[in-house]
Amino acid sequence: MQRSTEGPAVRPSSESRRVRRAAANAGEPTLDFGRVPYDEYVRASTLHRLQRTLSDDPGEMSFLVISQVMELYFGLIDFELAGVQDKLRAGDVWGALLPLRRAGLHLEGLNAGWRSLRWMTPHEFNRFRNLLGEGSGFQSAMYRRLEFRLGLKTASLIRPFRHQSDVHAELRHVLGEPSLWDDVIALLARHGHDIPAPLLTRDFAVEHTPHAAVESAWVRIYRDTGPGNHLRMLGEGLTEVAEWFGEWRLGHLKAVQRSMGERVGTGGSNGVAWLRRSMERTVFPELFTARTVMD
């Protein structure tokens, strides 16, 4: 996400100005503007022009809008987790907790999207599915970027974007960078936990392989239940993110089962079977395996 480089479309205000305006309006909202400030900030009129359905079927509008809302959530969650990484790299564990909390809440909001599509049976989906061609959520660049950020890395999955040079370059950059989990492991090492050096200097474009040393570090961290144990708080925040992300993946699987059963996926995969396999890859794995041996 980038800050706008355009001129100020919304005039800044202040508490005193708002009080004077309310008094002049006798408590009623202001109705006369040159350009509506809300629209200048939110770009609502632009957002509502982005829904271009391919059919006259009313259900397609739900499918399209929820897909677009999810895309916005992917970008928002990725933005928050990048902020968490910045804080962790600076050694500010306490400062990382708030954006991590926000990411968890955004993931909760993201999951609500699946509930809006529970009406969709194969009959409803098939009324417009063929018009989608080979278009598939599998091809979401922002979702792929979020997966990489969380540590689920597969280099071949950036190939669909090779003809979009800017998107491809961004994905290649995030692929090669340490994931959030890699940054957490580096943080554990800086806090005195015995993390093998190869885990800190490995090829970050390759998915992390769970390691007993990382698991042991989390066992030790969770033994300290004092209020000042920020690493334990970090572990709980990461757990929430991992759980909500897992819920989203499960919701995706259920939505596909509901709308198309075991059919081949729109983007060429074997659909449900591919989603089941992808769910076997765990986000922040040692944070969960450590719980088996915690006191």
pLDDT one-digit tens code per residue, 40-88: 999 999 999 999 999 999 999 999 999 999 999 999 999 999 999 999 9
Q: How far is CA 197 from the centre of its chain?
A: 29
39 and 69 co-located in one domain: no
Residue 266 pLDDT > 70: no
Tell me the average pLDDT of the chain. 93
The DSSP line for 225-282 is -STT-HHHHHHHHHHHHHHHHHHHHHHHHHHHHHHHTTPPPTTSS-THHHHHHHHTSP
**String of b and e for 154-163 (b: at least 16 CB within 10 Å)?**
eeebbebbee
pLDDT one-digit tens code per residue, 225-236: 999 999 999 999
Residue 7 pLDDT > 60: no
23 and 143 co-located in one domain: no
Binding residues: 129, 252, 266
H or E stretch including 58?
Answer: helix 58-89
Least confident of 3-7, 138-142, 158-162, 179-183: 3-7
SS3 35: coil
Q: In terms of C-beta density within 10 A (0-12 exposed, 13-18 middle, 19 or more buried), how is residue 12 classed?
A: exposed
126 and 246 co-located in one domain: yes
165 and 29 co-located in one domain: no
Task: Enter the tokens of residue 115.
Answer: 């509930």
Residue 33: the pLDDT is 85
Residue 60 domain flag: no
Q: In terms of C-beta density within 10 A (0-12 exposed, 13-18 middle, 19 or more buried), how is residue 226 classed?
A: exposed
Residue 267: the pLDDT is 63
pLDDT one-digit tens code per residue, 220-263: 999 999 999 999 999 999 999 999 999 999 999 999 899 888 78
Residue 136: the pLDDT is 83
Residue 54 domain flag: no
Binding residues for heme: 252
Residue 185: the pLDDT is 98
Task: Enter the tokens of residue 222.
Answer: 């969770």
Residue type, 176: G
35 and 119 co-located in one domain: no
Domain span at 19: 15-46
Residue 8 pLDDT > 70: no
Task: Enter the tokens of residue 44.
Answer: 């609502």
Verdict on whether the full-model pTM lies above 0.85: yes
d(Cα 270, Cα 248) in Å, to the nearest integer? 19
The number of domains in the chain is 2
Residue 125 pLDDT > 90: yes
Binding residues for substrate: 129, 266
**Sign of the CA dihedral 251, 257, 259, 265?**
positive
